[in-house]
Amino acid sequence: MKLQNDLILRAAKGERVERVPVWMMRQAGRILPEYRAVREKAGSFIKLATTPEMAAEVTIQPVDILGTDAAIIFSDILVVPEAMGLPYEMVESKGPVFPKVIQNKKDIDALRIANPENELAYVLKAIDIVKKELNGRVPLLGFAGAPFTIFCYMVEGKGSKTFSIAKKMLYSEPELAHALLQKITDTTIAYLKAQAKHGADLVQIFDSWAGILSPDQYRKFSLPYIAQICDAINEVPVTVFAKGAFFARKEMSKLNCDVVGLDWNMDITESRRMIPHKTLQGNLDPCVLYSSFKEIEKHTKKMIKNFGGQKYIANLGHGVYPDTDPEKVKCFIETVKNYTI
Ligand SMILES: Cc1c2[nH]c(c1CCC(=O)O)Cc1[nH]c(c(CCC(=O)O)c1C)Cc1[nH]c(c(CCC(=O)O)c1C)Cc1[nH]c(c(C)c1CCC(=O)O)C2
């Protein structure tokens, strides 16, 4: 199926574009009343995420309502631990919780390397439906968490500011940590390949907790596993987004990936210099969308001017915050689309 709008894919591959493409991390979610209605009907986040027809519906909403240049499959990074045998719960207004966590070698041995066609069939089915319903309008993005970020949740068992329980394992039992990271990596590679096979046009790796590691620890416990994934995924372009990993930009430039995502703490000009050969994605502070329409336009235009119009995918520097006014989001998206490059 030939895509009618392939701006994001062309930008990712470094090909020329007529205008800057735009999408938003966490675009399929609570900012839209239309999402909240489907979520209500589903009864719970997990029910919504595991029911392919409903997951497909909320995946397409931002394309129809906000006008984004891509859809991102509605799911969560935590479906991977679940597929490996460690289920999660989503506690209202608290976030994810794992009733059982990984503490020793026995726990790691008990985990399986998932077969996505079995344990993650519901995500793949949702991808099949979305591809059919999008009918080539825009590309579909797939995703997975980076092994280190998934490790954090599997060992800590819940969200945390410091993930000190998870980090403790890195320092006190590094071999154990590596064994778990490798098992997560093997599952993630199989999962992303399956997403591409089912029609994901590009995949993004979210290393949301990269910023809690020292540069040394990041080089040991995160980058090698991201590198394995990048080397293994040759079917579609790959984006690596490591929140807070400003210290690793030089190494990111050497990864076998097409796009590097930036957060708002990373200076644009400096990042272009450090990552000269790749497409960059980002990096508006999501809080800008709390300001006036005029301010949003001003900050968005300044951002595009700094990145330049080519080898660039406009986005926020992290996921959109749930209490953001959809009209402000539309203003951001329209400003990007109307920018003459
Ligand atoms: C760390 C992380 C998680 N999940 C994800 C990350 C990496 C990206 C990032 O750093 O933001 C990724 C994710 N989670 C979700 C998506 C959907 C696709 C999209 O629109 O981007 C994506 C790409 C849906 C979701 N995942 C979650 C919701 C909200 C739950 C609900 O609607 O009830 C949604 C729409 C729940 C979730 N899931 C997670 C947390 C910490 C929480 C609770 C806090 C929160 O709500 O943001 C783990």
Per-residue pLDDT, 29: 87
Say whether 153 counts as a known binding-site residue. Answer: yes
39 lines ligand 1 (CB under 6 A): yes
Question: Which has the closest alpha carbon to 318: 23, 25, 69?
Answer: 25
* Torsion 159-160-163-165 (CA) sign: negative
pLDDT band, very low/low/confident/very high, at 93 (cuts 50, 70, 90): confident
Q: Of all protein residues, whose CA lies closest to atom 26 belonging to ligand 1?
A: 76
Q: Using the mean position of ligand 1's atoms as its centre, give its distance from the Cα of residue 59 in Å.
A: 13
Q: Whose CA is nearest to atom 21 of ligand 1?
A: 26
Query: What average pLDDT is seen over the chain?
Result: 98
Cβ(61) to ligand 1 under 6 A? no
| Ligand 1 atom nearest 27 alpha carbon | 20
Cite the DSSP H helix spans in the chain: 7-12, 33-42, 45-50, 52-65, 79-84, 105-110, 116-119, 121-134, 147-156, 164-172, 174-198, 215-221, 223-232, 249-252, 268-274, 293-307, 326-338
- Dump pLDDT digits (tens) for 222-243: 999 999 999 999 999 999 999 9
Over range 61-80, report the average pLDDT.
98
- What is the C-alpha to C-alpha distance for residues 219 and 225, in angstroms, rounded to an integer? 10
Pick the residue whose CA is nearest to atom 18 on ligand 1. Answer: 74
Q: What is the DSSP-derived secondary structure letter of residue 322? A: T
pLDDT mean over 256-265 = 98
Q: Is 273 a catalytic residue?
A: no
Q: Is 340 exposed, middle or buried (0-12, 13-18, 19+ CB in 10 A)?
A: exposed
- 91 pairs with which residues across the strands? 95
Question: What is the pLDDT averaged over residues 155-179?
Answer: 98
pTM value? Answer: 0.97
25 lines ligand 1 (CB under 6 A): yes
What is the pLDDT, as a whole number, of residue 181? Answer: 98
The confidence score (pLDDT) of residue 92 equals 86
> What is the tens place of the pLDDT at every residue in 265-323?
999 999 999 999 999 999 999 999 999 999 999 999 999 999 999 999 999 999 999 99
Reported as a pLDDT band with limits 50, 70 and 90, residue 1 is confident
